[in-house]
Chain A
Amino acid sequence: MRTGHRRFRIFSLVALLSLLAAACLGGEGGGGTADGTEGGGGGGSVEIMGAFLDDEAEGFRTALQPLIDEGVDVTYSPTPDFDTLITTRVQGGDVPEIALFPQPGLLLDVADQTDSPPVSEYLDVQELEDSLIPGFLDSATNADGDVMGFPMRMAVKSALWYPKPAFEDAGYEIPETQEDLQALEQQIRDDGNTPWCLGMESGDATGWVGTDWVEEYMLRLHGPEVYDQWVSHDVLFDSPEGRAAFERFGEVWQTEGNVVGGAQGLLSIAADASTAGLFEDPPQCFLHRQGNFATAFFPENVQENLDENVGVAYFPEDTSGYDGRPVLAGGDLALMLNDTPAARQTMEFLAQEEFGEPWAEIGGWLSPHTGFDASLYPTEVERDLFQIGAEADVLRFDASDLMPGAVGAGSFWTGIVDWVGGQSDLDQVLQGIDQSWPSQ
């Protein structure tokens, strides 16, 4: 009995260790495949690292073809774990020549940690600024005023989606101002319909949709300067300005019958699934506010025939607020980490107004340059989305991506959730977010 016991123990020990060994080996296998996609270093080769994958990566590679034809050995290595991987590679001293950052905060951090040269050392910054949508370069400008990177792709967030056929049949008009929008909501409610499809459920990221709404109002009501101060916490969340932005978002979901499912719906319906209501017959709702990436959330039959099924307009400006046409956006920003002649040539290529023409024709990419030839986009929807960006007087990056993680991916999200869910009132939420701002 006793020896049997011991034999069993030895056996379990052996089994445990073999599992551990297997786990280690498994890890090595994974690393091997990752290596396979990396380009060979040295010489005139350029490795570009980025966060967009699959079709988008293919589109980018197509767009790089002219450069490759010129003899630059450039490879694109995408990774779904961009933030972690670039941090690790910077710490390990093994940086790619160029990295494309979805978040400007991380770009400036990495630029600070490495000796990346400012853009002015290899490009005419003024010319670049004139060509880009106004305000885009601000996001990649560090505290000393040096522009460290520039966008090579735009994501437009200020987009108002509507189901084209049903919307037109009902005789609704695209709103030009926030006042028009409120009148339209009233009209839709009077017709016995629900204006908005608005879902925020997104697993542990629930709330991000709400932060986008608050940011839209922050920008529209108070303009880019106050917006920037809000991002740097010089204007508090619990300030008249911050409160006003929250309250405007509150009007949207608190008004009876304005949102499908009300407050419970906001927190229960998944952000991507919430678009489906637009395309039901009859539609559950007539309006949806979401970035250009929303097209990927649409039902498949809608995606196949985008232009016939869906229309997109600018999420309107507020005439009583900031005097202008601001747009909330995102994008991928290029940073040169390793200053080689080939890398400079690649950066020059990426900064051109014409960059991405073949990619635009494939679809799924928007140029950050106002002068880009919009006729290249394959769908009306993409042309409209591009125009929303190109016609803006000022562009601002998604604030939650710029704020410290504890706020931008933490208390701002959870604050919105607590507010909508009724766990906290607006005072508690605003004060709570301010308190959570890191002091260091």
Chain B
Amino acid sequence: MLKLANALIAVVAGVGGTVVLFWAMNKAVEALPEVWENRLKPYVFIGPALIVVTLFLVYPAFRTIFISFYDDRSENFVGVDNYTLLFTDPGLRMAITNNLLWVLVVPAACVAFGLLVAVLADRLTARFESISKSLIFTPMAVSAVGASTIWLFVYAWRPAGTAQIGLLNAIWTGLGQEPIAWVQVSTLRLNSFLLMVIMIWLQTGFAMVLLSSAIKGVPTETIEAARIDGATEVQIFWRVTIPQIMSTIVVVFTTILIAVLKIFDIIFVTTGGNFNTDVVAVRFINELFQFRRFGLAAAIVVVLMLATIPVMVYNVRQFRQQEAR
């Protein structure tokens, strides 16, 4: 109760305080001569944000890079030892391989399913289109931790002979098989793929919404023209629609790609990185808080950051190009 009141006061005071701050600074600048008002005004509004970003994002990033060249306790300089270990340690190599697997599968699957739903729903009546799209979109409202918990129930295992509470095992034992602890089966990376299903389930709605609006934006003249020229529906889809929504596809793909590079919660909740499902971000948390190897943990995030930045730059550029149209 006290905590709730605390939070409430914090939110009210925080929001109110910030509004007052901006209002007061705005007033102060407005009191200046007009030349100076125009010169300073942008900085009044962007300044606090810049300071906050520098303090909480840029500085820690450089500090992390610095620490990644030091030992466990950040006391002695060790050169690139942490980076060497990063690529030779079997556990970390496993995590990197799994991340690559996620990157290969999840964004592509989300775009493919999102596109499929968007195209098919486009052909339904308006009522059914909105119903089906809402259904697909609902998982977006569930947090990754919540979704993982839900899917853990789907994959749940109970000893043979007792009631199977997991959907998958209920079906499986219904077919006369012995129950299987699905998240433990690392043969052919089955468990990793089962965990990817969770991410795809979460993100398909996002892909669908953006792609659907892009499809609706495709000028009907182009499609009609193709039709008159005798193109089949499949040809229209691949040769007319897809090229025109390509920039949206790229933005959706890269946005999900960035989320997948940083994937953490699903694995942390379901397997904790066990059974060969470990990924880089989970490994980082373990190195930092369980093993207390600060240098190695820093090296992991630096590599993760380096992997994410190009994708992000590309993503922002694409988004700008799309906006510019």
Chain A residues in the interface with B (C-beta under 8 A): 10, 13-26, 29-30, 33, 203-207, 260-261, 264-265, 267-268, 404-406, 409-411, 414, 417-418, 421, 423, 432, 435-436, 438, 440
Distance between B320 CB and nearest chain A CB, rounded to angstroms: 14
Determine which of A10, A29, A411 lies in contact with B6 in the assembled complex, contact meaning CB atoms within 8 Å: A29
Contact of A18 with B14 in the complex, beta carbons under 8 Å: yes
B286 contacts the other chain (CB 8 A): yes
Closest to A33 in B: B2
Contact of B17 with A21 in the complex, beta carbons under 8 Å: yes
Chain B contacts for A15, CB-based, 8 A: 15
Contact of B15 with A18 in the complex, beta carbons under 8 Å: yes
Contact of A264 with B13 in the complex, beta carbons under 8 Å: no
Which 3 A-B pairs give the minimum distances between C-beta atoms? A22-B14, A204-B272, A406-B291
Q: Known contacts A421-B275, A423-B186; is A14 also within 8 Å of B14 by CB?
A: no
Contact of A17 with B49 in the complex, beta carbons under 8 Å: yes
Chain A contacts for B292, CB-based, 8 A: 405-406
Q: What sequence of 0s and 1s flags, for each residue 183-225 of chain B, a beta carbon within 8 Å of any chain A beta carbon?
A: 0101000000000000000000000000000000000000000
B316 contacts the other chain (CB 8 A): no
How far, in whole Å, are A440 and B73 apart by their CA atoms in the complex? 10
Contact of B274 with A421 in the complex, beta carbons under 8 Å: yes
How far, in whole Å, are A20 and B51 apart by their CA atoms in the complex? 12
Q: What sequence of 0s and 1s flags, for each residue 274-308 of chain B, a beta carbon within 8 Å of any chain A beta carbon?
A: 11100000000010001111000000000000000
Closest to B11 in A: A22
Contact of A421 with B18 in the complex, beta carbons under 8 Å: no
Determine which of A17, A22, A204, A206 lies in contact with B48 in the assembled complex, contact meaning CB atoms within 8 Å: A17
Q: Known contacts A26-B6, A264-B180; is A440 also within 8 Å of B71 by CB?
A: yes
Closest to B48 in A: A17
Contact of A261 with B159 in the complex, beta carbons under 8 Å: yes
Determine which of A18, A23, A265 lies in contact with B19 in the assembled complex, contact meaning CB atoms within 8 Å: A18
Contact of B91 with A18 in the complex, beta carbons under 8 Å: no
Contact of B273 with A204 in the complex, beta carbons under 8 Å: yes
Chain B contacts for A203, CB-based, 8 A: 272
Q: What sequence of 0s and 1s flags, for each residue 20-64 of chain B, a beta carbon within 8 Å of any chain A beta carbon?
A: 001000000000000000000000011011001000000000000
Chain A contacts for B17, CB-based, 8 A: 18, 21
B69 contacts the other chain (CB 8 A): no
How far, in whole Å, are A435 and B92 apart by their CA atoms in the complex? 13
Chain B contacts for A205, CB-based, 8 A: 272
Chain A contacts for B186, CB-based, 8 A: 421, 423
Contact of B184 with A267 in the complex, beta carbons under 8 Å: yes
How far, in whole Å, are A410 and B286 apart by their CA atoms in the complex? 8
Contact of B274 with A417 in the complex, beta carbons under 8 Å: yes
Distance between A284 CB and nearest chain B CB, rounded to angstroms: 8
Q: Known contacts A264-B181, A410-B291; is A440 also within 8 Å of B274 by CB?
A: no
Contact of A405 with B11 in the complex, beta carbons under 8 Å: no
Determine which of B3, B13, B49, B157 lies in contact with A268 in the assembled complex, contact meaning CB atoms within 8 Å: B157
B102 contacts the other chain (CB 8 A): no
B90 contacts the other chain (CB 8 A): yes
The CB with the most chain B CB atoms within 10 A, among A205, A206, A267, A421, is that of A421
Distance between A409 CB and nearest chain B CB, rounded to angstroms: 5
How far, in whole Å, are A20 and B272 apart by their CA atoms in the complex? 30
Distance between B303 CB and nearest chain A CB, rounded to angstroms: 19
How far, in whole Å, are A421 and B71 apart by their CA atoms in the complex? 33
Determine which of A26, A30, A260 lies in contact with B159 in the assembled complex, contact meaning CB atoms within 8 Å: A260
Chain A contacts for B22, CB-based, 8 A: 14, 17
Contact of B91 with A414 in the complex, beta carbons under 8 Å: yes
A sample of 20 inter-chain contacts (CB < 8 A) reads A13-B45, A13-B46, A18-B15, A22-B13, A22-B15, A24-B14, A25-B10, A25-B13, A29-B3, A203-B272, A204-B290, A261-B159, A264-B184, A267-B274, A404-B291, A405-B291, A405-B293, A414-B273, A417-B275, A423-B276
Closest to B78 in A: A440
How far, in whole Å, are A204 and B273 apart by their CA atoms in the complex? 8
Q: What sequence of 0s and 1s flags, for each residue 137-175 of chain B, a beta carbon within 8 Å of any chain A beta carbon?
A: 000000000000000000001011000000000000000
Distance between A219 CB and nearest chain B CB, rounded to angstroms: 24
Contact of A29 with B10 in the complex, beta carbons under 8 Å: yes
B268 contacts the other chain (CB 8 A): yes
Contact of A14 with B19 in the complex, beta carbons under 8 Å: yes
Chain B contacts for A33, CB-based, 8 A: 2
Instruction: List 12 extra interface pairs beyond A22-B10, A26-B6, CB under 8 A.
Output: A20-B14, A21-B17, A23-B14, A25-B14, A29-B7, A30-B6, A406-B292, A409-B291, A414-B91, A436-B89, A436-B91, A438-B293
The CB with the most chain B CB atoms within 10 A, among A23, A33, A405, A435, is that of A405
Contact of A17 with B7 in the complex, beta carbons under 8 Å: no
Chain B contacts for A438, CB-based, 8 A: 72, 293
Contact of A267 with B10 in the complex, beta carbons under 8 Å: no
Closest to B2 in A: A33
Contact of B275 with A423 in the complex, beta carbons under 8 Å: yes
Closest to B270 in A: A203
Chain A contacts for B45, CB-based, 8 A: 10, 13
Determine which of A10, A19, A440 lies in contact with B72 in the assembled complex, contact meaning CB atoms within 8 Å: A440
Distance between A315 CB and nearest chain B CB, rounded to angstroms: 24
Chain B contacts for A418, CB-based, 8 A: 274-276
Distance between B268 CB and nearest chain A CB, rounded to angstroms: 7
Chain B contacts for A19, CB-based, 8 A: 14
Contact of A409 with B10 in the complex, beta carbons under 8 Å: no
How far, in whole Å, are A323 and B14 apart by their CA atoms in the complex? 67
Distance between B183 CB and nearest chain A CB, rounded to angstroms: 9
Distance between A91 CB and nearest chain B CB, rounded to angstroms: 11
Contact of B272 with A16 in the complex, beta carbons under 8 Å: no
Chain B contacts for A432, CB-based, 8 A: 90-91
How far, in whole Å, are A21 and B11 apart by their CA atoms in the complex? 8
How far, in whole Å, are A382 and B284 apart by their CA atoms in the complex? 41
How far, in whole Å, are A15 and B290 apart by their CA atoms in the complex? 36
Chain B contacts for A23, CB-based, 8 A: 10, 14
Closest to B287 in A: A406
Distance between B139 CB and nearest chain A CB, rounded to angstroms: 23
How far, in whole Å, are A76 and B275 apart by their CA atoms in the complex? 42
Determine which of B7, B46, B49, B181 lies in contact with A267 in the assembled complex, contact meaning CB atoms within 8 Å: B181
Chain B contacts for A29, CB-based, 8 A: 3, 6-7, 9-10
Chain A contacts for B160, CB-based, 8 A: 261
Distance between B301 CB and nearest chain A CB, rounded to angstroms: 18
Closest to A265 in B: B159
Contact of A18 with B6 in the complex, beta carbons under 8 Å: no
How far, in whole Å, are A386 and B46 apart by their CA atoms in the complex? 65
Chain B contacts for A268, CB-based, 8 A: 157, 181, 184
How far, in whole Å, are A152 and B45 apart by their CA atoms in the complex? 58
How far, in whole Å, are A206 and B271 apart by their CA atoms in the complex? 9
Q: Known contacts A17-B18, A21-B14, A26-B10; is A206 also within 8 Å of B159 by CB?
A: no
Chain B contacts for A409, CB-based, 8 A: 290-291
Distance between A438 CB and nearest chain B CB, rounded to angstroms: 7
Closest to B273 in A: A204
Closest to A204 in B: B272
